[in-house]
Amino acid sequence: MKHTLILVGADKGGVGKTTTSRALLDFLARKNILARAFDTENPRGTLKRFFPRITEIIDLDNVADQMKLLDSIATSAVKVTVVDLKAGNLSMALNIFSRIGVLDAARAGDFNLALIHVVGPSIASLDEMGEVAAFTKDMSYVVAKNFINEANFFEWDDKTYQKYFAKLSDAKEIEIPKLNEMAYEQVDLAGVTFSDFTADKNSKGAAGDFSFVLRGYVRKWISDLDGELGGLNLITDLIDAATSPDVDGDSDNTSS
């Protein structure tokens, strides 16, 4: 199975980038696809709180950390790497990757490269899409419209949006559906994965005593999200590869 490197980024903070990374890792775990994660939100690392066992915090400006992430791609037994790029660092990170030959290596077929670009409700987000277009040739480029935080998240003019979107070759679009605020907060407070929350498990694996209603909301949200993620070729390829007979390893890569 060829390695797949999935970058999750946004040039603007507060658009739900880490939530998208969490949702993606959660989805992969539910599909028994082993993944490892790097959180470039140095030194805090929100993602690590939810996936402590598989997440490492790195500083993308630091060469040693760049090596930790990229040099291990060829040797890692875990074939999916998710990188949660620090808010505002998307263009910079793509520049670094371009400079050190990561994009060329992906183009040459050394590994699969994907970018999930989480966009916000502003023209600035559209401009971001224009900026990253220079880097997205030959990689899977997914624009994630995140509705999780606000009900009316996307209020821009659809025609304008489509105009920007049309410029991006082979771009796919997904929507991260809205999750009830109280349910979202409870998962956040519990510091567990979305799946563990629905299973009523706390971060130590014991009974969480979480509200049935809130668990129900999260269960519904996961189910809606599965439909979105499951429609991406990038994901279906991973699922196919993971379920093919030549794949080894166990599936215990969640935080619980």
Partner 1 sequence: MIFDTDLSGNGIVNCFPEKTRSIDLSKVSDQVFLFDTMLETESDGKSIDYVVDVSASELNRFFRIFSDIGFERGAFEIGLDVHVCYIISWTLKSLKNASKIRDILVDSQFTVVRNMAIEALPFTPDPEEESQVPNLEIDLFLNALSPEVFRIIDNKQFSFARFIEGGHDNLDYEMRAEIWNFLEDVHNQIRIGR
Name the residues that contact partner 1, by CB under 8 A: 180-183, 211-217, 219-220
CA distances (Å), origin 40, targets 1, 86, 101, 113: 26, 5, 19, 17
The radius of gyration computed from the CA coordinates of the chain, to the nearest angstrom, equals 18
Least distance CB 213 / partner 1 (angstroms): 5
Q: Which is nearer to partner 1, 1 or 187 (CB)?
A: 187
Q: Which is nearer to partner 1, 49 or 220 (CB)?
A: 220
Q: Which is nearer to partner 1, 91 or 149 (CB)?
A: 149
Q: Which is nearer to partner 1, 4 or 195 (CB)?
A: 195
Q: What are the structure tokens assigned to 211, written together?
A: 């509200």
Least distance CB 180 / partner 1 (angstroms): 6
Q: Which is nearer to partner 1, 172 or 220 (CB)?
A: 220
CA distances (Å), origin 52, targets 10, 123, 156, 170: 22, 35, 37, 34
Least distance CB 231 / partner 1 (angstroms): 21
Q: Which is nearer to partner 1, 45 or 208 (CB)?
A: 208
Is the distance from CB of 225 to CB of 177 less than 8 angstroms?
yes
Is the distance from CB of 198 to CB of 215 less than 8 angstroms?
yes
d(CA 207, CA 203): 9
Least distance CB 217 / partner 1 (angstroms): 6
Q: Which is nearer to partner 1, 119 or 214 (CB)?
A: 214
